[in-house]
A and B are shown apart, each in its own frame.
Chain A
Amino acid sequence: MGDAALIQALQRIVGEQHVLHAPADLAAYAVDASPLLRSLPTVVVFPGSRDEVKAILELASAQQIPVIPRGAASNLSGGTIAINGGIMLNMNRMNRIIEIDAANLTATVEPGVTTAQLAREVEARGLFYPPDPGSQVISTIGGNVAENAGGLRGLKYGVTRDYVMGLEAVLPNGTILRTGGKNAKDVAGYDLTRLLVGSEGTLAVITEITVKLVPKPETKRAALAIFDRLEDAGTAVARIIENRIIPCTLEIMDRGTVKAVEDFAHVGLPTDAAAVLFIEQDGPRAVVDADIELAGKLCREAGARDVKVAATVEEGTKLAEARRFALPALARLRPTCVLEDATVPRSHLPEMFRFIEATAEKYNLLICTFGHAGDGNLHPTCPCDERDHEELERVEKAFAEIFDKAISLGGTITGEHGVGIAKQDYLAWKIGEAGVEVSKGIKAVFDPQGILNPGKVLPKATRKRLVVRQG
């Protein structure tokens, strides 16, 4: 089937106005939020219903054409790059909130609903959908599910996976698959819901999602602690958790990040601080007050130079600015921003920070690290210039060492950004050859022709792990 025939066939399925194929259209869909990657799709299509998705997949199967499901394309791992061309399947027209079920505490939505839209709608009803990935203003729930998106609230509330109860998805051959439902308990067979969560659009196209909701917390309060020594910040994190406080947010920023934030936003951070912790607790007022006061005290005991405890929600919002400006501040330093998400068990945070600092120095790079101290999910961020190929080589080498170190500390190559293209050759480091083989088998069962988001997740060739001298 030629491109013209394919375009016509798709137009018959979804209507002419929902198919884009002009050169400029294709160029706009050649990129996502991942740096350095670009590849043109053959055609861009916007289905309006599950049945249209089914018809598109049947067509693609019959013609063996790649299909790349796409939400807001805010992913950082190249997950929505059409590396082999094909049909860019945009799910953002399917953006209805089908139901908010207050009795069962669930919401059922189409995949194109944005995370912020769902959060707003449920909060208006006194309910709460906790996952809050950084791109929530634009990211879609479908994309969040496909990437198993995390966010700032991971420590206390978990990630997207912990909220998905049921899915409707279309397999590449057009078969409709329904998994899970509204049942809190359901052990009927393999957990196909969890299998699809985080499958990065390689197994099926998700067309409906049922998520769990929780009651909206009564209030929240924040504190900010400034440390002269990184180890002290690590100690403070450990002490907070040991004292049975699970803050809804527990964020850390290193020296480089603090300096970048202060230079950019002038929020009143000392530029010589070694680390800053941002702590937020939500829940009933008495619990929140007790937790945040104790957390502040523990920070001081751990050696914090200064602890600011917000008296009101508004003051807390002001303190949160320091953390909120981390990415904007770093993104402005240089044209390109490589934002990674190596993750280690919480107790190894200080060691991981030290290693990142040393690696940045070794490769003569600026790598600033901020991230979710509570769950060990770090964002070593390297402002660089994609036009400087020599610099990019150093960036790649530095991150290979950082991933290797994370694995050796019992961590992972990616905490929340996904594998996509960016990490596929590191995947075996984490899940092993057995993990790769089982994954390939699963892929073959769902998508025997290999048309769904081809060339993603599964390794093409596993990188040789570098031998990094410790110490």
Chain B
Amino acid sequence: MSDALTRMQESLKYDELINCMRCGFCLSACPTYKLSLHEPRSPRGRIALARAVAEGHLELDDITGPLDQCIGCRACEVACPAGVHYGEILEAARATIVENKQQGALERLVRTVGLKWVLGTPGGIRFAGWAIWLWQVTGLSWLCRKTGLTKAVVGKPMAELEAAMPRVPSPVKRYMGGGPGHVFPAVGERRARVGFFTGCIQEITFWKENRDAIALLQNAGCEVLIVPGQGCCGAVHSHTGEEATAHAQAKRNIAAFEKHQIDYVVNAAGGCGAALKEYKLWLARDPEWAERAARFSASVRDISEILLSLPPIPLGPRPGRVTLQDSCHMRNVQKLVSEPRKLLNSVPGLEFVEIGNADQCCGAGGVYNVMQPETANAIGADKASRVKATGARELVVTNPPCQLHMRASLMRAGLDKEGVRVVHIATVLREAMDAAKAQERTGPTKP
């Protein structure tokens, strides 16, 4: 075997590739296969393709398209009887492609500015927060949308996501509401000290959802520190083949959180949480970091997970029918399935109904809906029709990319005009908690 092929086999994780026994069970779990019915758009097919490259039957270029088509929801890992680590295979393949590919000037620019400068540093994320706020507050967003300029420049799918983005809080409000280094005291007896992982985009576009989660933690007896110096979790880098940048994010975050005495690292973003829990795998072969990463990953908790392990917060009535769309990485990687359901079912007056295929990706996939809008929006449209069929007034989500993508999907289906909202689970619980507090103040209302 040639040296080049040996290197390719190592890079593509050949030892993992051959664990696939091609039974096809994953096909039933794969959103892109179900949409296309084409084998190269299935996990079994993609593994066969990576293997064909590793064995010298195909060129790396041949398989880039089919791999780009994968949302990376990892539902196939749950369906796989042989325990194949598809996520590792996918990320290794993407990293190999990025390493070996001659990138065009535009792609290089987007990757350098977007992934390395903006999302790759805490300063870049702060800058993005300012930029988005200015864009919205100056009316530029409105003007460009109304004149069709947004659509003309970035295309229809991006323009629809832009329109679905909620109004972001001003930098002043964000500072006043407790930025990096701020400590939120526990309400009542202090049971735990929590380091809050805000997420990069989440802390800008879904800032309020993070504050809802923090309020819940405080009332569950946690002192909450917004750990300073944290940045992006690195999931987006890992999913786009920027392995080195992803690992740099992991190291920065581990180092930032290690500086503080905390019991748990808590987050309210299913996708980020999955990445934080997988730092131990990312850095397993780095002697300096392996142990630190393992310790860090072991302390990570999703907001749903930690709330159930603490004494329940009193919840008041929050009536109405809701349905839930799981975050793929919360379900398939963190394996948290019953937790959000238990919490929703504990809210008085709330009627929880299953969407019917909550285990199936909504199509957001981090930046998948930007890279592959056709597939992402087809899946989003199917979800929207299922939301409608449940008769729910709210679609509850547990991850910001799902929240943005489903907002856009409901808008496309016209459901926003019928008053159907997309809400984060932390918001639902916060509102129920506030209802309980209001009741305590005024006494229970007689029906």
List residues of chain A with CB under 8 Å of any chain B CB: 20, 22-25, 27-35, 44, 46, 72-74, 90, 92-93, 114, 116, 135, 137-139, 327-328, 331-332, 335-337, 386-387
Contact = CB atoms under 8 A, between A and B. Distances in A.
B289 interface: no
B82 to A, nearest CB: 4
Given A27-B48, A46-B37, A336 B18 contact: yes
Contacts of B52: 24, 27, 30
A73 B24 contact: yes
B45 interface: yes
B23 interface: yes
A418 to B, nearest CB: 15
B40 A25 contact: yes
B22 A23 contact: no
B85 to A, nearest CB: 11
28 contacts: A20-B38, A22-B62, A23-B58, A24-B49, A27-B48, A27-B49, A27-B57, A27-B58, A28-B45, A28-B48, A28-B49, A30-B48, A31-B22, A33-B24, A34-B22, A35-B21, A44-B39, A72-B27, A73-B24, A74-B24, A116-B28, A135-B25, A331-B81, A331-B83, A335-B15, A335-B18, A335-B19, A386-B18
A22 B64 CA distance: 12
Contact of A72 (B19, B24, B40, B46): B24
B21 A332 contact: no
A387 B51 CA distance: 13
Interface string B7-35: 00000000100110111110110000000
Contacts of A332: 19, 82-83
Interface residues of B, number: 31
A74 B28 CA distance: 12
Given A27-B49, A29-B39, A137 B63 contact: no
Contacts of B27: 72, 138
Contacts of A93: 37
A387 B52 CA distance: 15
Given A93-B37, A138-B27, A331-B82, A28 B66 contact: yes
A340 to B, nearest CB: 14
Contact of A20 (B19, B40, B81): B40
Nearest to B40: A28
B356 to A, nearest CB: 12
A24 B65 contact: yes
B48 A31 contact: yes
Given A24-B49, A27-B62, A137-B28, 6 more contacts: A23-B62, A28-B48, A30-B52, A73-B24, A331-B83, A336-B18
Nearest to A328: B81
B378 to A, nearest CB: 14
A137 B48 contact: no
A337 B83 contact: no
A423 B40 CA distance: 28
B23 A33 contact: yes
Nearest to B63: A24
The 5 closest A-B pairs by CB, nearest first: A28-B45, A331-B82, A328-B81, A28-B40, A28-B39
Given A20-B38, A28-B39, A28-B49, A137 B25 contact: yes
A22 B42 CA distance: 16
Contact of A135 (B18, B24, B45): B24
Nearest to B79: A137
